[in-house]
Amino acid sequence: MANTIPPSINERGFTCPFCGINTVHTWHQTYAGSLGTKTPTKSEIYDLVMGEATATTPKEELLELQKRLVDGDIRIERKFVTHKGLKVHNLFLERCHHCGGVSVWKYDAMLYPSEQEIAPNTDLPEPIKRTFIEASRCLSASPRASAALSRLALQELCIELGCNPKKKLDAQIGELVSRGLPDKIQKMLDGVRVVGNNAVHPGQLDLRDDRQIAKFLLVCINRIVEKMITEVREAEELYALLPENTKASIERRDGKNTKPSTPLDTPEAPPAHDAPKPEGP
């Protein structure tokens, strides 16, 4: 798992709070303009975007921008530049070069999004990573919501790893144990009534005051990814560095280059012998 670099206003390279990738970020000064007497409606936002569009802008890109604005997403769109308004001091925007996510800062403190308490393993597949990040952000405010999202991420991860989607979660975890996942993780999940005979329905999992269990679920997901994805990837990368003659020797040792048997290679069965004839009286 790659090292997590906490976001900082003094840095340009750190772990993005949206996508969880260590990448470069751009900082922006903010300016204020008159909004008028009320916030724009959804139809006004649509008209604004379409009215400032150029003939070369793809329609799909405009629709995506319009959707993001209506949903309240914060974006920096270089194609729609207007005159600068009044400079706003100590309010900054930061944009991720990888995913385009924009965070809001008051001097050196990140206001939006709320900081993650546990960062996802960088090998966690998408969109499971987004579910994990959402669970981490609401951990303090609502442990119950965080646990429900973590359980969903755990189910998605099991399916991603090839488990039978028709099986229950405890059976899927059992499949992973048979493939090398430490059984202690299964026992711990059983202990907090997430899987196993004592498991409860996600809607009945009352974790309003149990933040530690909700946090434990996030840690378990990272452990599973570390064991089932990261370690496998790292082993394959190390194996690829070996000389070809060494890899050929390993493959011969493991029987991967063994010539399959054919009918010509199959030894003939010994000739049948006639049964002894019974002697006469």
Whether residue 47 is predicted with pLDDT greater than 80 in this model: the reply is no
pLDDT given at position 265: 41
Q: Please count the other Cβ atoms lying within 10 Å of the Cβ belonging to residue 27.
A: 13
Ramachandran area for residue 107 (φ above 0: left; ψ -120 to 50: alpha; else beta) = left
240 exposure class (CB count in 10 Å sphere: 0-12, 13-18, 19+): exposed
Are 18 and 99 in contact by the 8 Å Cβ rule? The answer is yes
Name 111's Cβ contacts closer than 8 Å, sequence gap at least 6: 103, 104, 105
Distances (CA, A) of 277 to 78, 270, 273, 274: 101, 21, 12, 9
Q: Hey, how many other C-beta atoms are within 10 angstroms of the C-beta on 193?
A: 14
pLDDT (tens digit per residue) in 125-171: 988 998 998 888 888 778 888 888 888 899 899 999 999 999 888 88
CA atoms in the 13 A half-sphere facing the CB of 123: 18
Burial 213-237 (b: 16+ CB within 10 A, else e): bbbbbbebbbbbbebbbbeeeeeee
Regarding predicted confidence, which is higher, 34 or 30?
Answer: 30
Average pLDDT value for residue range 172-188: 86
**DSSP 8-state assignment for residue 229:** I
Q: Where are the alpha helices (DSSP H) in 52-195?
A: 59-70, 128-137, 143-160, 169-178, 183-191
Q: Which pLDDT band, with edges at 50, 70 and 90, does 189 fall under?
A: confident
Residues in Cβ contact with 265 at an 8 Å cutoff, skipping those fewer than 6 apart: 259
What are the extents of the domains in the chain? 1-35+66-115, 116-242
Is the pLDDT assigned to residue 80 strictly greater than 70? no
pLDDT of 270 reads: 44
Average pLDDT over the chain reads 75
Q: Could you report the per-residue pLDDT of 87-103, keeping only the tens digit for each?
A: 788 888 999 998 888 98
| pLDDT in the model for residue 193 | 57
Using a 10 angstrom Cβ sphere, with 0-12 exposed, 13-18 middle and 19 or more buried, the burial of residue 57 is middle
